[in-house]
Amino acid sequence: MAKPPPSAKTKTQTATGPARREEISAADEIVQRKDAQAQALAAAMPWNDNKSLEHGFAQGLSPAKGVTAQPESPLPGSSTVSEVNTSDKTGAQAEEGVNAVQGVLERVRADGSGQPLTTNQGVAIADNQNSLKYGLRGPVLLEDFILREKITHFDHERIPERIVHARGSGAHGYFECLEPLTDLTRAAPFQAEGKVTPVFVRFSTVAGERGSKDTARDVRGFAVKFYTDEGNWDLVGNNIPVFFIQDAMKFPDLVHAVKPEPHHAMPQAASAHDTFWDFVSLMPESTHMLMWLMSDRAIPRSYATMQGFGVHTFRLVNAAGESVFVKFHWTPKAGTHSLVWDEAVKISGADPDFHRRDLWERIEAGAYPEYELAVQVFTEEQAQQFSFDVLDATKIVPEELVPLRTVGRLVLDRNPDNFFAETEQVAFCAAHVVPGVDFSNDPLLAGRIHSYVDTQISRLGGPNFHEIPINAPVAPVHNNQRDGMHRQAIHRGRVSYEPNSLGGGCPFQAGAAQGFVSVPARLQAEEEQGKVRAKPEKFADHYTQATLFYESQTPAEKAHIAAAFRFELSKVTVPAVRARMVASLRNVSEVLATEVAEGLGMEELPPPMPRALSTPARPEVTVSPPLSLMARPGDGSIKGRRIALLVADGVLASAALDLQSALAAQGAKAEFVAPRIGPVRGGDGVALDASCSLENNPGFLFDALAVPDGEEGVARLAQDGHTMEAIKDHYRHCKAMLVMGAARRLLEMAGVSATLPSGEPDPGLLVADGDESTDAFIVAIGRHRHPQRETDPPVV
């Protein structure tokens, strides 16, 4: 489990600057120790002593033993410093020099420290530099099994990527129950307050391939694998609570439409193209999802500031077999925040791994992402009274109808040891539930129950993907399944069927008291004879909740939605598709449709698209504040935020160091960014060290910007065009900025005003003569953004 924050320790800076005490966390200290030991280990082998021994016939007869160095501790050989955070699934740290094959995950962790190279069969390799030849200059021999094994394995190292959610990032952690739900469910994670269940979580984009960018406008996957003591439960959801389609029959069509167009394989990781908008413009049930997709929800700031939803309506079942409907909500403790479009575009060029890197670095630094799990619980009788159908995945249940009930928390506190073995091979399946959780009749969910398992069989090489360590449950497994590709278990005995007597009837079926039993009750509706391919009438209301979402946004968020539609549809080359989409938007909001049409150069609006349901039921809720990002600001802390402190020779370094310490004390990562990395000589005689340059860490990679005082330093910064770009990007992206003393001249050069377009002071832009605004700067950063300054088009 995650440890409580350690007490602050101090260090003294002497080698690179004047002595100075500053607080550092235990997480920072262990990272520094790992780096130092890794440096020492590398320095112990300044060259390859064996290189001169690779030549000549005699040397080939007796290859030398490989050169080794002894590390000070196992730390430099670790993949992640967070390996000390253990659980029932991850187990303990890897035992040095041991490739264990038993127990929980440590049974498959391998460490080669102090060990010779071997083949996959365990044969020690005497020479890893040369292939076997007939004489020094002769042909390579087919006999060289070591070469053939090495090359053959390399040729087959890649596995098929996921069709959707191919690009992802994962982490280990735990779920803690905050409130027992034994009255509602017998599901293992909810049986007692304080009960802890190990989890592995994978976040992902949907449309892009494995090598695509993180910051695309797209849905994000939020999949949680609970390793419960009654088996694995996979809650496979998204960061948006609704979906494009209502029936799994349309899922292949949706994915084909949003993927790169088949004739030229473009665009990658984007929905701004003809086939996607052609499809959704003919599928009005997609409209609600499009509101979310065109909103800032589709470009989250980080995985740590992103909501998650189960999307579908599920069932909770208690020990008496009684069931209720449930929807699952994950809410980040740090608030739900997003990028702005211009920022996302620039980040994708500077750091396409932006989200992946952020998640990794937060965990490495001990700033563990945390989320609350809340449920919406309602009965069949309540569901029948709603104006919408709860089996329709394009609808939400507004919180005003069914309030959220917080029942647990999720903490991600350990990075994987190996991306492929864990994040890439983890297999989530919507069909994986445990006793106490069951399915509803949602027709989209029904397809997912089948599709996920089927996909993993193809992607992971056969039906035994559940035996891959990251997928293996912590609960014992006993059944009569046998053989198949990559089977790992070695079963004893002769019995592989049930019932049997030769095995004493074992393994035996558990019965209802212990085993999973599907809920016999189903959603009560008008009885219809026979099985049909149809949907209930309420499924035909495609616009009411799309309007609810749009009307629940703040003006800034509405402007972002309009701008997103404008950009995406401007990429569509067929005017009829654009017009069709605008016609659909008229059923959501005339204001939105008009703004989009104007942005596309349409001289007049097309007629509204005919509604599938001409007289939808009157909605219970027309405005829902929780649907706005502004309703989820978080706790106001700046923990985990990355702050740029622009410096150059001549700045007042002492004040800059004080500001860095103040920000670090709040859990932020404040970094000195200069025209080039390395030592910076302050105008006050104090030295500091710039870990970033304006070139390798552009301003839009940071959450806030500060520029210290100092005439000479400001003059040097003014000579670098990157400075203006950083200031303009922070201003345009509505981030907090602190400009001290002489640095205000940089604002004038960048054309940035300290007042809003309305003439009022900009609360996110602080201009100060000293360090008295540090507290106000911290508050401004905690608000994430200051959209009051935003204009379309931007004035800066």
Catalytic residue numbers, as ranges: 165, 238
SS3 84: helix
Q: CA angle at residue 577 from 574 to 579, to 5 degrees?
A: 110
Angle between helices 575-585 and 555-570 (to 10 degrees): 160
Placement of tokens 């007597």 in the chain = 501
β strands within 606-656, DSSP E: 642-646
Which phi and psi (to 5°) does residue 449 adopt? -55, -35
Cβ proximity of 319 and 182 under 8 Å: yes
β-bridge mates for residue 110, sequence order: 99
Q: Name the amino acid, one letter, at 513.
A: A
**Number of Cβ atoms within 10 Å of the Cβ of 502:** 9
Placement of tokens 């952020």 in the chain = 358
Hey, CA dihedral for 120, 123, 126, 132, is it positive or negative? Answer: negative
Strands lying side by side in the sheet with 765-768: 692-693, 669-674, 642-646, 704-707, 736-740, 765-768
What CA–CA distance (Å, rounded) separates 391 from 384?
11
β-bridge mates for residue 325, sequence order: 315, 378
β strands within 323-369, DSSP E: 323-332
- The pair of three-digit structure tokens given for residue 474, joined into one six-digit string: 């912590």
Q: CA angle at residue 336 from 330 to 341, to 5 degrees?
A: 130
β-bridge mates for residue 317, sequence order: 323
Residue burial 226-237, b: 16+ Cβ < 10 Å; e: rest: bbbbbbbbbbbb
Placement of tokens 């494009």 in the chain = 244
Q: Please state, in angstroms and as integers, the Cα–Cα distance from residue 723 to each residue in 347, 558, 577, following that order.
A: 17, 31, 42
Cβ proximity of 789 and 762 under 8 Å: yes
- The pair of three-digit structure tokens given for residue 221, joined into one six-digit string: 């996957």
What CA–CA distance (Å, rounded) separates 592 from 178?
42
- The pair of three-digit structure tokens given for residue 760, joined into one six-digit string: 């009022």
What CA–CA distance (Å, rounded) separates 144 from 516?
53
Strand 642-646 to 21-24 pairing? unpaired
Which phi and psi (to 5°) does residue 523 adopt? -60, 125
CB-neighbour burial class of residue 50 (10 A; exposed 0-12, middle 13-18, buried 19+): middle
Following DSSP, what letter does each residue of 321-357 receive, concatenated? S-EEEEEEEEEETT---B--HHHHHHHHHH-TTHHHH
